[in-house]
């Protein structure tokens, strides 16, 4: 069933859990996420990031995400992740996305807030939810893999709780992505997470906190983040890695032909297994 992210995060708040938001780059990814959610009877978020346009355009996969979400037996939100172009937000809303993220984190506070207010007004026409971001999460979700970068965030990258409160009041958003020590992609060193900062931002804004750069964080640290107010966790890199490595292993097992339909089934199998574990951790089922 297709619902808004706002409704899903209210459910997460009521249960003191987080909802996994899985970036989609293929039909197989949608199948893996929805099969896992339905098996555990847990809500999920399907999301598309513009950085993946080179793999599959939103115009192609977006309507499929919406259609399959509508047919799912569990609550599903369809979300545009890291939209830094208001026109792209409009396109996502037009095709049925129930949530969008305006990412103006590279802009000044004032311009970020002004554009976010436009996004909120625009999404309101569709009854959709809005996520926004202040702070810097570093690498994009598709795969610089961090070459030449340090794995730890610096203090200047962390979200300031007072500024977060001002931003929430100025924009009327439904969820806030903020920086507390995670980065996108594969970690080069163990992430240093500031759990108290999460709690402060949650307390001052009253908003569900969104965790970007969730791949590679330990199960224990995920649980600590959730305890302190994280309600949405973006997850992609290790999911894609799980599917890819399993396909590689299966392809190397035999000496005969490899058929593409087998590749897709292997990918779904491995990604579903990874999503099952992830949902169990986020929902405190494991």
Task: Name the active-site residue from 81, 174, 194, 274.
Answer: 81
Q: Per the annotation, does 234 bind a ligand? A: yes
Across 141-266, the runs of DSSP E, i.e. the strands, are: 175-178, 209-211, 230-235
Q: Per the annotation, does 215 bind a ligand? A: yes
Both tokens of 139, joined, read: 């690498």
81 is catalytic: yes
Considering only CA atoms, which of 75, 76, 54, 82 is closest in space to residue 64? 76
Q: Per the annotation, does 52 bind a ligand? A: no
DSSP characters over 100-151: EEE--TTS-HHHHHHHHHHHHHHHHHHT-EEEEEES---S-SS--TTTT--S
Distance CA 193, CA 228 (A): 12
Q: Per the annotation, does 79 bind a ligand? A: no
Q: Per the annotation, does 133 bind a ligand? A: yes
Q: Per the annotation, does 277 bind a ligand? A: no
Considering only CA atoms, which of 167, 166, 198 is closest in space to residue 182? 198
Distance CA 225, CA 41 (A): 23
Q: Per the annotation, does 141 bind a ligand? A: no
Q: Per the annotation, does 82 bind a ligand? A: yes
Contact (CB, 8 A) for 26 and 100: no
Which contiguous run of DSSP H or E holds residue 23? strand 19-23
> Any residues with CB less than 8 A from the CB of 259 and at least 6 apart, and which?
none
Specify binding-site residues.
82, 103, 133, 184-185, 212-215, 234-237
Specify binding-site residues for Zn(2+).
82, 103, 133, 184, 212
Specify binding-site residues for dihydroxyacetone phosphate.
185, 213-215, 234-237
Catalytic residues: 81
């Amino acid at each position: 069933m297709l619902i808004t992210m706002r409704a899903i995060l209210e459910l997460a708040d009521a249960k003191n859990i987080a909802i996994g938001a899985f970036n989609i780059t293929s039909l197989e990814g949608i199948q893996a996420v929805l099969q896992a959610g339905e098996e555990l009877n847990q809500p999920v978020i399907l999301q598309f990031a513009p950085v993946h346009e080179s793999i599959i355009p939103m115009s192609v996969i977006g309507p499929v995400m919406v259609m399959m979400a509508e047919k799912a037996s569990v609550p599903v939100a369809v979300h545009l992740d890291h939209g830094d172009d208001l026109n792209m937000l409009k396109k996502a809303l037009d095709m049925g996305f129930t949530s969008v993220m305006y990412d103006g984190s590279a802009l000044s506070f004032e311009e970020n807030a002004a554009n976010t207010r436009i996004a909120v007004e625009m999404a309101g026409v569709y009854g959709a939810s809005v996520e926004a971001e202040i702070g810097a999460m570093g690498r994009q979700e598709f795969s610089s893999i961090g070459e030449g970068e340090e794995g730890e965030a610096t203090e200047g990258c962390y979200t300031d709780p007072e500024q977060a409160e001002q931003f929430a009041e100025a924009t009327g958003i439904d969820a806030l992505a903020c920086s507390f020590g995670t980065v996108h992609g594969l970690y080069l060193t163990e992430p240093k997470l500031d759990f108290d900062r999460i709690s402060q931002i949650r307390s001052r804004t009253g908003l569900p906190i969104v965790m970007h750069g969730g791949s590679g964080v330990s199960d224990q640290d995920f649980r600590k983040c959730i305890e302190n107010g994280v309600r949405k966790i973006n997850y992609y890199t290790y999911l894609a890695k799980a599917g890819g490595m399993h396909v590689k292993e299966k392809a190397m097992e035999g000496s005969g032909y490899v058929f593409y339909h087998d590749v897709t089934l292997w990918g779904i199998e491995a990604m579903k297994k990874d999503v099952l574990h992830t949902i169990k951790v986020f929902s405190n089922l494991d």
